[in-house]
Structure 1
């Protein structure tokens, strides 16, 4: 039986400008009130259970960041479920005495929901719970793309990167919905590069073997400017062994340390004058057993003396967005270990290139020293070039 209950503030006004009422159900008969703001007494039987649901039954334009609450008086709740038409169930929990059930504020915009369940009065009678409502239609939906991939094993320097499909105005509201769980204690911070990207990195490199879970609980979040979170995601990944490489441009060498022990010192060549290799901490972004390298992608056109187009560069690992790689370079074997002759990449023998390729993962760091041309944020995964104290200030919650 349905009764008029307390008003619901997150639904569209009803007839005559009055707000829609909550849904109230009872095990002991019913009565109603013409005034939604008045309390109602569903039964003279004090042992009968009465249930109220907010948002009200039939409410529309409900804000997705408001929780659903189901309250029982004169008894306790025995079961509550809130599901979308697609079958997605909203998470929630009971209070200690099971008189109130409250959902997470993670409704999807423009979605119809059904509330179901039951309550039991002190008289032992069961009351079914049944209600429906619909959330508002968002001007824009907010969804996330994530690096790394779910299930991926990555290197110790990989920054978690979340790319939004629409700009985020209220960064603090969105960041509050982001969390990181690790198998061992790790200190870290979020850093907003711009309104469409937020990254996370630890204070120091991830400990080898760490298990990481990224919770993006943004369904229902109000991101501002009519943009609402349309979905939540969970990403789980693992950190592999520690592979830290250091390139010394002046000495023409790269040392590779694996799990704290020097594994190999490799003769290399780096960028020549006019194509200086950047100093700073770079992170392996992509790996290619074979990669075509065409100078037109970096602005050098055919006819230029510096133009090149090599179709089968072996063991290529990208470290900047602007086109720096670490790769096998048999054509520069006479200069490796003694001179810098490349167009900015770090080149080595095919044998060393293959060995190094087989040791690394996406997310492994390569620390370059010896030039006055430096890495900048935005040119690849350059998070480690920002001092941690500064990085923390890039959080919307700092």
Structure 2
């Protein structure tokens, strides 16, 4: 009786153990997820982080996608010039979206086998970002991807003002001019984000005028009819001294016909060549002694059908014998910042073609001035010879008074 009872009791224990083992096996299967559900992304560094780091989703299933995201989920003070990457060691990435808190998307690209996605390094400073997407393991299971992070705040922002204007048609000597709202310390980093595309091959270079201005010009004048696109991809660039680019912009403009003017102060004449052919020779008067017209390559900066010219703007005060104040100068085109214009001057008709009697401007008949005004664009070159007074750097758009070698040397990437 005793042995039989023990035997039955032992069998009962074995049966209970077997049931427990079966229950344990079922419990493990449920904890790992059903075979068709695939792996889910988990963060290796939960909570906020001040280091980019990475988030990953390791899986016990070797066929499930295993995702790694840089910067880590919850990271703060991420540098805006660092790319965001998403990668998987198994399977492929199907779709990735990265948006800031304004809803603006960040562009990116996949590698050839779609195991890695890399964003353009153009994040906004002081912004929150949300990354989402999906991956697919070799088992066909879909894995969701989700992460958030914040970029560091900038002490100063970097924004650009540009000439020419978007959509403008300009002359063949027009330099591209970018003016920054704050000084650029790391010029090379900023210049790497600038590009110029043209509809025909053009060799050109950037040239830093100072820490707040960089220009671009071709080696020779722009070919007539060229279409130009300037990409200022400075959002997220580190300009130095905790100054970060907060915006990017694209400017597209056109080059008009070729209008090249040559003024000889000694012979009191101006020739105008349009698309390589002499269009007109004009009698002119230029600056008299004490007001000598500058020699050099000038560029038309502004155009006015009527312009008031007051000598006080160039330091000649009322009461001075040389003072003038003319309210209605016709067909005036500025060629220097200091106040030289090309314009109609009916009061000097008797001297045009024979003597220099102006205060530095180039004057001509109203008829010639009106014709000339109709031919020209902002950005057309005016080449002046015949005097010993020369253009000062920065007195207007003086890019063409520098040799090509010296101009290229002004690039931060030369």
- State TM-score, norm by structure 2: 0.88
**For 1:178-212, what per-residue CA distance to the aligned partner results, in whole angstroms no more than 9, with x for missing partners?**
11111111111111110000101111101101111
Structure 2 distance, partners of 1:12, 1:326, is 63
8 Å Cα contact 2:54-2:69 kept in structure 1: yes
Aligned partner of 1:143 in structure 2 is 159
Within 5 Å, give how 1:181-192 maps onto structure 2.
181-192=197-208
Structure 2 distance, partners of 1:100, 1:382, is 48
2:316 aligns to what SS in structure 1? coil
Instruction: Please list every run of 5 or more consecutive structure 1 residues that lacks an aligned counterpart in the other structure.
Output: 14-18, 26-41
Within 5 Å, give how 1:1-398 maps onto structure 2.
1-5=40-44, 12-13=49-50, 19=51, 21-25=53-57, 42-398=58-414
**For 1:151-188, what per-residue CA distance to the aligned partner results, in whole angstroms no more than 9, with x for missing partners?**
11110000110100000011111111111111111111
1:255 is displaced (CA, Å) by 0.3
2:143 aligns to what SS in structure 1? strand
Structure 1 distance, partners of 2:53, 2:328, is 69
Give the number of equivalent residue pairs. 374
Higher alpha-carbon Rg: 2
Structure 2 distance, partners of 1:20, 1:270, is 65
1:269 aligns to what SS in structure 2? coil
Deviates more, 1:258-267 or 1:226-235: 226-235
1:5 aligns to what SS in structure 2? coil
**For 1:85-104, what per-residue CA distance to the aligned partner results, in whole angstroms no more than 9, with x for missing partners?**
11221111000100100011
Instruction: Please list every run of 5 or more consecutive structure 2 residues that lacks an aligned counterpart in the other structure.
Output: 1-39
* Between structures 1 and 2, the one with greater helix share: 2
CA-based RMSD? 1.4
Aligned partner of 2:34 in structure 1 is none
8 Å Cα contact 1:116-1:130 kept in structure 2: yes
Structure 1 distance, partners of 2:49, 2:313, is 54
1:6 is displaced (CA, Å) by 7.9
Structure 2 distance, partners of 1:396, 1:21, is 32
Structure 2 distance, partners of 1:290, 1:125, is 73
8 Å Cα contact 2:92-2:114 kept in structure 1: yes
1:111 is displaced (CA, Å) by 1.1
- Go from structure 1 to structure 2 and tell me whether the alpha carbon gap of 1:329 and 1:166 turns closer, same or farther (over 3 Å shift): same
1:43 is displaced (CA, Å) by 2.4
1:50 is displaced (CA, Å) by 2.0
Structure 1 distance, partners of 2:238, 2:129, is 19
Structure 1 distance, partners of 2:333, 2:108, is 45
* Between structures 1 and 2, the one with greater strand share: 1
8 Å Cα contact 1:4-1:21 kept in structure 2: no
Structure 2 distance, partners of 1:43, 1:95, is 23
Aligned partner of 1:36 in structure 2 is none
- Go from structure 1 to structure 2 and tell me whether the alpha carbon gap of 1:346 and 1:136 turns closer, same or farther (over 3 Å shift): same
8 Å Cα contact 2:41-2:143 kept in structure 1: no
Aligned partner of 1:31 in structure 2 is none
